[in-house]
Structure 1
Amino acid sequence: MKMAGPRCSSPVRLMAFMAFFFALLATGGSTAQVPVLLWSSDGLPPLASPAAGHITSNDQLTAYLNSAFGSGPHTVLLFLQDKLSKDDFTIFGGVYGNNQDSAFQNLEAALHSSSSSVTLPAVEWSGSSAIPALLQEKLGVSPLLVDADTLSHLSINASVSNLLLINLPYCTGLQKSCKEVLRHNDEIIGQVLSSMKAKNVPYTAIYTGLQPSRVISEMSMSSQPVGRSLLQAAVSNGTEPIMFNTSGGPCIMLWAQNLNISLSSTSGWTDLATQTPTLAGSMCNGTSSLLVLNYSGVILSFAMSQKFYSVSGRNWFTLDTVQLQANGSTANFIGRRGIYAPAEYSFHCQSVNSFRDALLVPNSTAQNTMDWRLNFIDFQIQGFGLANGTNFSYASDCAGFFTPGIWMGLLTSLLMLYIFVYGLHMIMQLNTMDRFDDPKGPSISVPQTE
């Protein structure tokens, strides 16, 4: 078994919460969550912007709704979509300065024009009926299912509380694309808000989902990957990473395309990635992590540690040693160069080996282990800060910025610049002659002697 591995150019950009979405792209938690957007024609209680990565609990949402609908009658429009996640906004929201491409134009305009709005990018999802039931309890009325057409003919009594429920579909992948479905939903939102404005009824609108969505990616222009991408999520080629879990959740994660070992200079390579290991002996805490991969006759261990470095003002983790046990012998390989990353990141490298441009240096005196070699291909590991659950955090890559190609380009450019400057200097040193030969003067006579 293989192992895996805004500038807001327009004021109608779903306001400030889009910034939260970008920050949350790398910090999604294992708890299911849905976004909740609230806006009102006559004001909402203030709410501090949630920190990036914060998941609003049901208790926090209940407390805020208590303050928003604590007294007096309220007319609430609940736009309840079958599925909704923050990724729907980041993928289909036209967030790169092209508002015409956004599937949420009416929603953006409503948030911008409302007297106040509140955005909760991630609310803990505990069931499909949680938010409707919560609103029903706060308002003391049953929800009335309406659509844009019936609402235009409906008489609304603003002296009592009203809960108007507008169901919105989500894409199934069978007919329309997700973007077309979300754009149609946005048109319905616009029609409903226009009807409420025509009726001159104050309202509070809420847009959320029955459950989180699994966003369907738009078709790529090319089926071939372009460039290099760092592994920030579990690999989508059907393989899964090796993960060590504790009672507190995921603790260590490792993925490699190949885990090649060689026990002699004459034998070939053995790829351990084709086998499924047990993780007996693995451990982790706040300062050190040990991942032990037990294969048939072979044990491969990765020892990591983290500490605070005052120069950079942050914690860094290092892969200290890789230990290989086989045939009753043990060889240690020291990660002396380059295998480090910020503690909240993962480490990724296309090649980690012990014999060529070695990142792992052999440190063994046993004669029978002198020829042991390691060669890990497309290697990624993380021993701390696994806040993404089953996904790697952002990867710090071992590839340096100044690659041989870049150095060749820089040296060639410097040589051409030197030639240009030298030529310019020579031209500037040319002087105009201040004396010329007079062609009308007497010619020079040279006497001849015999």
Structure 2
Amino acid sequence: MGGISTMDSCQRKWQSRDGQRNQLLSHIFSLLWITGALTTHVPLLIWSSDSLPPVPSSAAGHITSLTELKAYLSSALGSGPHTVLLFLQEKLSQDDFTVYGGVYGNKEDSAFKNLEAALQSQSAVFSALEWSDSSSVPAILEQELGVSPLLLSPDALDELKMDASVNSLLLISLPYCSDDTHCREQLSSNDDVIGHVMKTLEAKNIPYTAMFTGLQPSRMNAEPSLSAQVGRSLLQAPAPAEVRPPIMFNMTGGPCIMLWAQNLNVSFSATAAWIDLSAQTPSTSGSICNETNSVLVLTYTEGITLTFFLSKRFYKVSARQWFSLDSVQLRQNAVTASFSSRSIYAPAEYSYHCQSVTSFRDALLIPANNNASSWRLNFIDFQIQGFGLSNSTNFSYASDCAGFFTAGIWMGLLTSLLMLFIFVYGLHMILQLNTMDRFDDPKGPCISVPQTE
């Protein structure tokens, strides 16, 4: 019984199809080309000396799940005692029937002569049955019949005393070919075993239901992993990286301050390593917000506190409210460094965004005390909003710090103007060319200049 429990851990998928009995194998082979290359699954063939319920109709390419198989076997084996034969081959795929079966009417060349003959009677075909390492056909049959499978060899069946009044589950293991050169001979030998077992049961006058399937597919057609692909690929995009939610401070009625950054890097000396605070979840205790002022206090481990001071004012020139990030404080234990801001502002109903907010290069944060001169801040992909959230959990439209006329745009404009000047100057020179107003006539008399002594 140890071999049975091992085989209970390997099976796969496949599809149901019920065709004409005298052309049943041809229908299976035609389905092979449709489903054989799509995924890994195993075929399951069922035939009986009695009657079988019809297989539920399904669309081409359907893969039968183990749940659907259980429902079918419950209706097929639900009433009365049954003797079930399970021919379990080491490997089996739909392509084996295509390559070695009598697909084109050449029955003499088929490796499945006895199997094809058995399928002419009461039969059911699942051409693509779900295959899973954790579930198997023997386990389903054991559950339906309420008996443990009996593993035996075909020769031992002749001496086995069988009782048709009780449920029986007989398991016959069949090998698979080790190489393609001997596959036809091995499959034909397995087919002879199937024929011998059926004749033995018929001689003992015992009704039976037989099944033929595989422990695993003989041909694996699993889709390649995208991570293993190299070179060019079409219509392929990398998997999106996980995006952290923004830091949010809530007051009564909803959020009032939001901040997000890809990196919140701080350093406590010019040579010290950077500490990325964005990888930690801070406490917002101590934060406040009202109609004109907002203070976001982020408290991290190791005694580090980062505080943002924002204010909102009305400007008559623009006739609208604007908010600004007035200053940033970095505190470690009892030491505090203050940084005043430069040009960090946006309309009050907008959020502010900048790809880089630093205190040391193209600085938008200016050191405001002695400690700030040696401490450094570097915020990457920084976005903040302290007003006008209106109970929304998303940032408003962002006012970006990048100007419209960047260095690249200025270089392009100056280069274009220089080329235009050269073109206009050359055109002007061409238009200034004049033709001569007098020409010598080569056919006329030569000019004679008399000589005098």
Shorter chain as denominator, the TM-score bin is 0.3 to 0.5
TM-score normalised by L of structure 2 = 0.45
Higher radius of gyration, 1 or 2: 2
Which of the pair has the greater relative contact order for Cα pairs under 8 Å at 6+ separation? Answer: 1
